[in-house]
Amino acid sequence: MIYNDDTTGRVVELMKNNDDSERKGIFTTGIVCTGKNDEQKIALFFTGRNHAGENLTEVLRQRNAGLGAPIQMCDALSRNQSKEFETILSNCLVHGRRNFVDVYDNFPEECWYVIETLGKVYKNDETAKKRSLSPEERLRFHQTESGPVMEQLHKWMTEQLSEKKTEPNSGLGKAIAYMLKHWDKLTRFLTVAGVPLDNNLCERAIKKVVLHRKNSMYYKTRCGAYVGDMFMSLIHTCNLNNINPFNYLTELQRNTKSVFKTPSAWMPWNYQATLRALPP
């Protein structure tokens, strides 16, 4: 499972003398990868010219080619997608919901209906978590409980536009059009086991690296950004796996040779077992 997103960044010195790239913006990408049943989470951050989809492509190049297409959760921006590797693409329900929240004051009745309907789906998802359902059991549960709810919402939205109950160019009309345009990807959780409802996991990760960048008074060079991203990737990966980052980084420094020799044995979730196995 892969979550990804990006945000605009800032590097004070842009290497003006030898940087002739046509793309002048700086972006910080966040990618969070989870294993089966959301175990062994990894956070990766990249600051530079590349968009989220391009950074995702570089990550997927390191993936075992024999594995099937991963599930990808992101918002609907095309720049979040890899142009080289196939993924099971799903879009974030929170992004769709947010459009209705933004125009709620102008269309309170219609927006409340949408927000309340999506709330039922989230309540179902919370029930699935409390019951510790497997991905396949969760899929069937959502198909039974959330499927009819989303079908009714789709019907309502379609009628709003087709029967001219809502002005297409209004804020409400644009919010509805967004949902209908991306409906299949927004409702992927009803057809594929394990698909989450939203991209909140990655968006929370992005906030961490943005805060670090701000506290650093922004990065002076892209080399500095690389170092910052590397340490934030390690630290946030530890946080996601409930591991003390300070202790983890300390042991990596103490056992540098062993880390370089067998890096897979020094991941946050298994480094303590590796330490116990070291000769006295």
Separation of CA 142 from chain center: 21
Confidence of residue 127 (pLDDT cuts 50, 70, 90): very high
Q: Is the pLDDT of residue 59 over 90?
A: yes
The pair of three-digit structure tokens given for residue 160, joined into one six-digit string: 């709003």
CA dist 280 and 278 (Å) reads 6
Assign 200 to helix, strand or coil. Answer: helix
| 247-269 confidence digits (pLDDT tens) | 999 999 999 999 999 999 999 99
Q: Is the pLDDT of residue 19 over 90?
A: no
| Angle at CA of residue 249, ends 245 and 254, nearest 5° | 150
Burial of 74 (0-12, 13-18, 19+ CB in 10 A): buried
pLDDT at 211: 80
Handedness of CA 58, 29, 45, 135 (dihedral sign): negative
* Weakest-pLDDT range from 33-42, 106-115, 160-169: 33-42
Q: Is the pLDDT of residue 76 over 70?
A: yes
Confidence of residue 21 (pLDDT cuts 50, 70, 90): low
3-state SS, 71-138, equals: EEEECCCHHHCCCCCCCEEEECHHHHHHHHHHCCCCCHHHHHHHHHHHHHHHHHHHHHHHCCCCHHHH
Q: Read out DSSP for 147-182? A: HHHHHHHHHHHHHHHHTTSS-TTSHHHHHHHHHHHT
Percent of the chain scoring above 90 in pLDDT: 72
What is the average per-residue pLDDT within 127-155?
Answer: 97
pLDDT at 20: 52
Tell me which of 77 and 192 has the higher pLDDT: 192
* Weakest-pLDDT range from 27-31, 109-113, 139-143, 162-166: 27-31
pLDDT at 131: 97
237 and 30 Cβ atoms separated by less than 8 Å: no
* Residue spans per domain, the chain: 2-91+199-235, 93-187, 243-277
- Region for residue 70 given its phi and psi (left: phi exceeds 0; alpha: psi -120 to 50; beta: otherwise): beta
Burial of 236 (0-12, 13-18, 19+ CB in 10 A): buried
Confidence of residue 39 (pLDDT cuts 50, 70, 90): confident
Confidence of residue 16 (pLDDT cuts 50, 70, 90): very low
- This prediction's pTM: 0.88
Strands, sheet with 2-8, edge to edge from the N-terminal-most edge strand: 42-48, 27-33, 2-8, 71-74, 88-91
The pair of three-digit structure tokens given for residue 129, joined into one six-digit string: 């978590």
pLDDT at 15: 43
| 177-235 confidence digits (pLDDT tens) | 999 999 999 999 999 999 999 999 999 988 887 787 777 666 777 788 888 899 999 99
Q: Is the pLDDT of residue 17 over 60?
A: no
pLDDT at 214: 75
* Weakest-pLDDT range from 37-41, 43-47, 276-280: 37-41
52 and 5 Cβ atoms separated by less than 8 Å: yes
